[in-house]
């Protein structure tokens, strides 16, 4: 776009924020981390984790920074959703937000003390309360996006611990896609992709036959990803 000084004397925008939908997978259910803000006009209401985009950072960097402040994690898997721009999405101000979704492994996760967050809590995907601003819309959009992306690339692995069983993986897909899968057929298909590496380890402390553990292999993924593959189940 052409820049003309006069165009921007009065910016039409009061600011840009980042809002993050943080997904995790816990005991067969997909959950989202919501926070109560400690300051501002929305104290006490639940919403997505968010913050202002700073002048010298990209939106990706801002999202990583905001997530780091809350969780202490670095290099979280995240993807931009889109910009949410309804002029009425925030009253009295013109604030555009850039939505992100991130997939975290619950085991790594650890909420840090934070000035801006009063409380944080995991909510099951079908038990989401009313959220501030357009955060319900952002969340709904992120679910659609997640369901789509999960069919095209093995991003779901980011929700699991490093070592996992095939059935855990299957339950993950069932939960995200909202479908039921056949154990036998799922095994065949996922193993046939050659994307998993079988470990010489088994589950511990389970009250039934211990399942073999697998891990996701980045190397193999990179090789396969060039041809593109299909995660339709």
Which residues form the interface with DNA (CB under 7 A)?
A: 165-167, 182-185, 187-189, 192, 202, 206-212, 230, 232-233
194 binds a second copy (CB under 8 A): no
Query: Interaction with a second copy in 58-87: which residues (CB under 8 A)?
Result: 58-60, 80-83, 85-87
**Nearest to DNA of 117, 224 (CB atom):** 224
User: Of 77, 106, 111, 116, which lies in the binding site for a second copy, with binding defined by CB under 8 A?
Assistant: 116
Query: Interaction with a second copy in 203-222: which residues (CB under 8 A)?
Result: none
**Nearest to DNA of 36, 165 (CB atom):** 165
Question: Measured between alpha carbons, how far is 22 from 182 in angstroms, rounded to an integer?
Answer: 29
227 binds a second copy (CB under 8 A): no
- Residues whose CB is less than 8 angstroms from the CB of residue 199 and which lie 6 or more positions away in sequence, other chains included: 163, 212, 213, 214, 215
Question: Measured between alpha carbons, how far is 186 from 188 in angstroms, rounded to an integer?
Answer: 5
| Residue 199 near residue 213 (C-beta atoms within 8 A) | yes
* Beta pairing, strands 95-103 & 15-26: parallel
User: Of 101, 133, 157, 231, which lies in the binding site for a second copy, with binding defined by CB under 8 A?
Assistant: 133
| Residue 176 near residue 31 (C-beta atoms within 8 A) | no
Query: Interaction with a second copy in 44-63: which residues (CB under 8 A)?
Result: 47, 50-60
Greatest CA separation found in the chain?
72
Question: Measured between alpha carbons, how far is 89 from 95 in angstroms, rounded to an integer?
Answer: 8
* 175: partner contacted, choices a second copy, DNA, none (Cβ within 5-8 A by kind): none
**Nearest to a second copy of 12, 113 (CB atom):** 12
Listed residue (42, 53, 40, 45) closest to 99, CA to CA: 53
* 19: partner contacted, choices DNA, a second copy, none (Cβ within 5-8 A by kind): a second copy
**C-alpha distance across the termini of the chain, in Å:** 43
User: Of 30, 33, 98, 169, which lies in the binding site for a second copy, with binding defined by CB under 8 A?
Assistant: 98
Cα angle 149, 68, 139; round to 5: 40
* 222: partner contacted, choices a second copy, DNA, none (Cβ within 5-8 A by kind): none
Question: Measured between alpha carbons, how far is 102 from 107 in angstroms, rounded to an integer?
Answer: 15
**Nearest to a second copy of 106, 151 (CB atom):** 151
User: Tokens representing 36?
Assistant: 């109560």
**Nearest to DNA of 110, 185 (CB atom):** 185
Contact positions toward a second copy, by CB under 8 A?
1-4, 7-8, 11-19, 37-43, 47, 50-60, 80-83, 85-87, 90, 93-98, 116, 133, 148, 152, 230, 232
């Amino acid at each position: 776009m052409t820049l003309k000084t006069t165009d921007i004397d009065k910016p039409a925008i009061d600011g840009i924020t980042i809002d993050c939908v943080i997904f995790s997978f816990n005991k067969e259910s997909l959950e989202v981390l919501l926070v109560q803000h400690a300051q501002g006009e929305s104290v006490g209401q639940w919403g997505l984790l968010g913050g202002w985009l700073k002048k010298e950072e990209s939106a990706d960097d801002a999202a990583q920074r905001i997530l780091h402040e809350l969780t202490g994690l670095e290099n979280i898997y995240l993807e931009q959703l889109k910009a949410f721009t309804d002029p009425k999405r925030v009253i009295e101000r013109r604030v555009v937000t850039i939505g992100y979704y991130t997939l975290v492994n619950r085991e790594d996760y650890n909420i840090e003390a934070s000035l801006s967050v009063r409380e944080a809590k995991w909510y099951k995907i079908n038990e989401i309360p009313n959220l501030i601003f357009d955060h319900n819309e952002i969340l709904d959009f992120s679910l659609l996006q997640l369901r789509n992306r999960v069919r095209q690339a093995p991003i779901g692995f980011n929700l699991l611990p490093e070592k996992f069983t095939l059935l855990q993986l299957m339950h993950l897909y069932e939960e995200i896609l909202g479908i039921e899968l056949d154990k036998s057929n799922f095994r065949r298909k996922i193993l046939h992709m050659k994307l998993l590496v079988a470990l010489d380890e088994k589950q511990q402390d389970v009250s039934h036959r211990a399942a073999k553990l697998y891990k996701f292999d980045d190397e193999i993924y990179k090789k396969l990803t060039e041809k593109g593959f299909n995660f339709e189940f």
